[in-house]
Structure formats: C-alpha cells, structure tokens
Amino acid sequence: MYKSLIKPICDWIIALLAFPFFCILWIIVAIAIKLEDGGPVFYMAERIGKNSKKLMMYKFRSMKVNAENILNADGSTFNSKNDPRVTKVGKFLRETSLDETAQLLNMLKGEMSLIGPRASGWSALDNYQPDEIDKMNVRPGITGYTQAYYRNSIGVREKRLKDAWYANNVSLWLDIKIFFKTIQTVLKHDNVYTN
C-alpha cells in the first residue's frame, strides 16, 4: 500500500509544496550559471526510468558547454575534484547537490520520487544483469539508498545490487532513514567524487 499508493501521493504533495521555495533558489542558481559562461541552465540527461522506460531527467548544468563524456572503467560517470570540464558554479552545485534539485520538476510530472534508486544512463540499459533489473520496478529518486549511504564510494555493480534490494524492500521507515542520512551526507560532503 505504501509503495504503490501512499508514496506516489506523498511525492507529488512534497514536490508541489517545495516548488515555490525552490523557484526562488533556482532563479539564483540560473543567474549564476548564466553569468559564468552564458550557456544553458539545464542539462537534460537520458536516463532509465520506472519499468525501463526512457526518462529525460532535469539537472542544473555543472559542466562547460559540449564537455566530453568521460566514463570510468566500470561504466560509471567520471568525476573528480579537479575535473577541468566542471565550471566554478558547477563545482559548488555538485558539492551541495543543488544540481540535483531540478529533478523536482520530474517529481511534479510523476516520473521520479523523492527517494528511490539513482536513475542510470539510458545507454546502460543493455548492460544490466538479471539480479540488478529489479531496480527499475520503482521510480528513480532524487536521493536514495546508495546516494545517502555510499554516494560515489562504491562501483556500479554494487550500486545496482543495493538499488535492486531497495526496490524490493521499500517501506516508510526505510525512506525516513534514507532522507535523514541524505541530509547528513550532503552537509558533510561525503564521497562527492569518484577520483
């Protein structure tokens, strides 16, 4: 009941209530991005959504326009504290996770949840192992189990397995724990970078 009915309703209400506050914050973020290099404010990322459907996920742009897409050996996205592709504003947005707040728009559209598995890049769909697929049984989240507890400290395979575990064990209590752990992780800047 929580997973199929209460959680989606709560997500929509939370997104609706948070929207006016975030609009003010987003105006400041958008101005900062535009002042730095004049490029687009948003980055639209092709991601895997619920039931393996394509999702266009909103993010505030943190990289230079037309930056090269660099991947780690395990297929995860490369990010480093001294990544030359990242703008000065983008570095701040990443370290504070403000770049992810644009996904509130996806929540309002019913495509994402506040808490759920991290949405993988669309090109990774064919690389999923059978024991990882359950991850896509729920809507992806702005934050989630792996982001809150591990962020970028574990590899892709382990993240997928933990996300699949979450999808099969969704509960109100687990979501509450993830929510408060996320706040702690963001404030402490834990595991922001993979390199």
Note the pLDDT of residue 32.
Answer: 96
pLDDT tens for each residue of the chain, 195 residues long: 999 999 999 999 999 999 999 999 999 999 999 999 999 999 999 999 999 999 999 999 998 888 777 766 655 566 667 788 999 999 999 988 899 999 999 999 999 999 999 999 999 999 999 999 999 999 999 999 999 999 878 989 999 999 999 999 999 999 999 999 999 988 886 655 444
pLDDT at 132: 97
Compute the C-alpha angle 70/88/116, nearest 5°: 60
Cα 2 to Cα 5, 66, 163, 172: the distances in Å are 6, 42, 18, 7
28-67 burial string, b = 16+ CB within 10 Å, else e?
ebbebbeeeeeeeeebeeebbbbeeeebebbbbbbbeeeb
The three-state secondary structure class of 56 is strand
Separation of alpha carbons 131 and 87, rounded Å:
37
Tell me the whole-structure pTM to 2 decimals. 0.84
Residue 179's SS3 state is: helix
Give me the pLDDT at residue 141, please: 97
Whole-angstrom Cα distance, residue 53 to residue 134? 13
**CA–CA separation, 38 vs 63, rounded Å?**
12
98: which residues sit within 8 A by CB, 6+ positions away? 25, 29, 60, 92
Return the ∠ at Cα 183 (arms to 144 and 80), rounded to 5°: 75
The helix or strand, by DSSP H or E, that contains position 104, with its residue range, turns out to be helix 104-108
Say what the pLDDT of residue 192 is: 56
